[in-house]
Amino acid sequence: MTVETTPILLDLRQDVALLTAALMNVNSVSGNEAALADAVESALRAIPGLRLVRDGDAIIARTELGRPERVILAGHLDTVPLPTVEGSLGTVPSTWESGIPGTGLLYGRGATDMKGGVAVQLALAATMFDGGAEPGKDVTFVFYDHEEVEAVKSGLGRLVRNHGHLLEGDFAILLEPTDGTVEGGCNGTSRFEATTVGETAHSARAWMGINAIHAAAPILSRLAAYEPRTVNVDGLDYRESLNAVKIKGGTAGNVIPDRCVVEINYRFAPDKTPDQAEAHVRELLEGFDVVRTDAAAGARPGLNHPAAASFVAAVGAEPKPKYGWTDVARFSELGVPAVNFGPGDPLLAHKDNEHVDADAIRECLRALRLWLAD
């Protein structure tokens, strides 16, 4: 039996903080973005002057005004899973701390990561032609799925493969939370497995075997003693980190383990490639069996590009580096300079008390609207 669902209608012209709440009220955990993508597509198709392309649960909407400069505004529709802790505020639907919609702090899953940014994109798209006005730049709006999961599922990656020509531009802004300032580029990330091999034996006769977990102790010692570097890249200081994030070994409580695997995550500055990052890890762990299991390049800040410089000036705050990996790296690979800029404190992303201030969303919209009009 087919179950019919009522289409979700989005009012893109309501206050942007209320629009944020409306987006948050649609469950869009990774893999479950279809309903929200349908609502976004429907709302965008009602706006004259936009050319739309839908690919799965990702949408591209472009102006075609013939401007000499094109900027890209991008954001993901999905969120991480809902919290399981009773009493958590990171829920769906959202809640207003004040009890007055549109006033004060908005709590719920996606408040910072990144429904506020998506609401700003949609509000800009809905109003930029008001009163016969036109933006001073051509704009490409990108909304995509599966950002919060493994890279092979990325909706933006799929758009690059299937519609790469529609993602060409002079400058890109990813509306990830940055607390209202510009965060340039991003660190790269890579994962490794360092494996030690021993010999099984009964734990009552441990001398008959070789303990692989004990053999991994020097790996942990080197990582614990490692002093991460801060690297200046194009004027921004990127802090690196190199850590053991998981360890597994052993089969039973009375068996000496013959294998131990330490999983390692290296967050490296965008002055180096994934291969250079791997060489650095291998040098630190020389003598051990190390295998790289995943890697994503970082992105240089690109703040020397004229469009980036004018945007930083319009925002007015001192730009900062982005320590985590974001999809600005994908735009960088396409040759498009990109920065992160969006409402909300990134330190609250994915937390059970995830929230955003309504005025921070409004300020983000104001800054982008003024810049696009130039």
Q: How many helices (H) and strands (E) does the chain have?
A: 10, 17
Which amino acid, 184? G
Give 357's contacts (C-beta < 8 A, 6+ positions apart): 104, 105, 106, 343, 344
Q: In what order do the strands lie in the sheet with 241-249?
A: 241-249, 259-268, 188-197, 289-296
Could you identify the residue written with the tokens 């505020």? 89
Q: Which of 57, 145, 147, 179 is catalytic?
A: 147
Buried b (16+ CB within 10 A) or exposed e, 32-43: bbebbbbbbbeb
Q: Is 86 a catalytic residue?
A: no
- Can you tell me the distance from the alpha carbon of 333 to that of 185, in angstroms, rounded to the nearest whole number? 12
Query: What residues form DSSP beta bridges with 62?
Result: 51, 140
Q: Is 78 a catalytic residue?
A: yes
- Can you tell me the distance from the alpha carbon of 338 to that of 179, in angstroms, rounded to the nearest whole number? 17
Q: What is the dihedral of CA 176, 178, 182, 185, to 10 degrees?
A: -60
Quote the tokens at residue 126: 């809905």
Q: Which of 78, 240, 258, 327 is catalytic?
A: 78
- Count of CA atoms in the C-beta half-sphere (13 A) of 241: 9
The DSSP secondary-structure symbol of 79 reads B
Mind giving me the DSSP string for 322-369?
--S--THHHHHHTT--EEE--SS-GGGTT-TT-EEEHHHHHHHHHHHH
CA end-to-end span of the chain: 54
- Can you tell me the distance from the alpha carbon of 97 to that of 90, in angstroms, rounded to the nearest whole number? 12
Q: Which residues are catalytic?
A: 78, 147
